């Protein structure tokens, strides 16, 4: 940054781990000062300025951390546990527990979640205008009808919060080692066969008939689950493998790795 002036909201976003819009809200609320004077929207600063938030100095220089984590099923992304449901922060070393998740995965969804203290990075990864693609492995309780597949991919499905459209393709891969993903799916399908009348399904061939790859750039709450539910399907397994250019690769459930941008 040297002596170049930067926008105050960008600076606060990076240091506080918030979006630029949230930083503007803090400024407008009078919680930020520059050299002991109340900050105004649109202000610019350099390293010689003293910026305070809630009367505490915000250091000009900061070290950012970026973490890729394979979230297991059964954990929430919030800092606090929800009832008996644990938080993913229970699985991270103390030094990473101040990082914020970049977006969220619900309790029943596994896979790639990014964490950082760089608010600007989080903003660029999550704001809809940047169109960051996310890729998921999805398993349904029954094969997707071709008409429904075309409807989702080409036209979209109307939900309560607007139309939902994403790409769906058949996943013809059969993993050589099914691991946790396959074990859980088999148990879920067996339970489905008892409660909903579907044929008992224990073979890998039958299970993979219901597996799909979903690619979308939106991030609405439980969007994939709600979209398939609107067409009469239930998502048995939802596993994110990619977020933007970042991929899960060989990280096992509960494992994490640091990366640079």
Query: What does DSSP assign to residue 118?
Result: -
List, for residues 57-82, the tens digit of each pLDDT value: 998 877 889 999 999 999 999 988 88
Output the pLDDT for position 52.
95
- Give the whole-angstrom CA distance, residue 107 versus residue 27: 34
Residue 106: active-site member: yes
CA distance 139 to 86: 24
120-129, 194-203, 235-244: least confident range: 194-203
Q: Write out the two tokens for 249.
A: 């690769």
Q: What b-and-e string marks burial along 55-81, b requiring 16 or more CB atoms within 10 Å of the CB?
A: eeebebeeebebbbbbbbbebbbeeee
Set out the domains of the chain in order of their start, with CATH numbers. 6-57 (3.10.290.10), 66-126+250-258 (3.30.70.580), 133-243 (3.30.70.1560)
The per-residue pLDDT for 181 is 30
Residue 198: pLDDT over 70: no
Taking only the tens place, the pLDDT of each residue in 143-189 is 999 999 999 999 999 999 999 999 999 998 755 333 333 333 333 33
Listed in order, strand segments (DSSP E) in the chain are 6-7, 32-34, 37-38, 44-45, 51-53, 56-57, 66-71, 100-101, 109-116, 134-140, 157-159, 162-164, 167-170, 211-216, 235-243, 246-247, 256-258
User: Could you say which of 46, 106, 118, 171 is catalytic?
Assistant: 106
Can you tell me the distance from the alpha carbon of 12 to that of 174, in angstroms, rounded to the nearest whole number?
A: 47
Per-residue pLDDT at 175: 54
Tens digit of each residue's pLDDT (9 = 90 or more) over 81-128: 888 899 999 999 999 998 999 999 999 999 999 999 887 788 889 988
- C-alpha 259/C-alpha 119 separation (Å) is 16
């Amino acid at each position: 940054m040297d002596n170049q002036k930067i926008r105050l909201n960008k600076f606060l976003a990076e240091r506080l781990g918030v979006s630029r819009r949230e930083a503007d809200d803090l400024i407008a609320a009078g919680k930020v000062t520059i050299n002991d004077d109340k900050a105004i929207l649109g202000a610019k600063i350099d390293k010689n300025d003293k910026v305070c938030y809630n009367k505490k100095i915000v250091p000009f220089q900061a070290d950012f951390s970026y973490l890729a984590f394979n979230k297991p099923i059964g954990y929430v992304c919030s800092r606090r546990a929800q009832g008996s449901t644990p938080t993913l922060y229970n699985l991270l070393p103390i030094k990473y527990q101040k990082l914020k998740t970049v977006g969220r995965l619900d309790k029943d969804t596994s896979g790639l979640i990014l964490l950082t203290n760089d608010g600007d990075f989080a903003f660029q990864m999550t704001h809809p205008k940047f169109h960051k693609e996310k890729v998921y492995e999805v398993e349904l309780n029954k094969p997707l009808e071709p008409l429904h597949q075309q409807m989702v991919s080409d036209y979209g499905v109307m939900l309560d919060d607007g139309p939902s459209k994403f790409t769906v393709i058949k996943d013809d891969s059969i993993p050589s080692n099914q691991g946790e993903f396959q074990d859980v799916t088999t148990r879920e399908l067996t339970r489905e066969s008892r409660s909903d009348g579907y044929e008992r399904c224990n073979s890998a061939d039958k299970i993979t008939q219901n597996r799909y790859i979903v690619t979308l750039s939106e991030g609405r709450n439980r969007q994939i689950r709600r979209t398939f539910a609107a067409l009469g399907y239930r998502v048995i397994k939802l596993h994110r493998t990619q977020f933007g250019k970042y991929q899960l690769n060989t990280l096992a459930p509960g494992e994490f790795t640091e990366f640079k941008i």
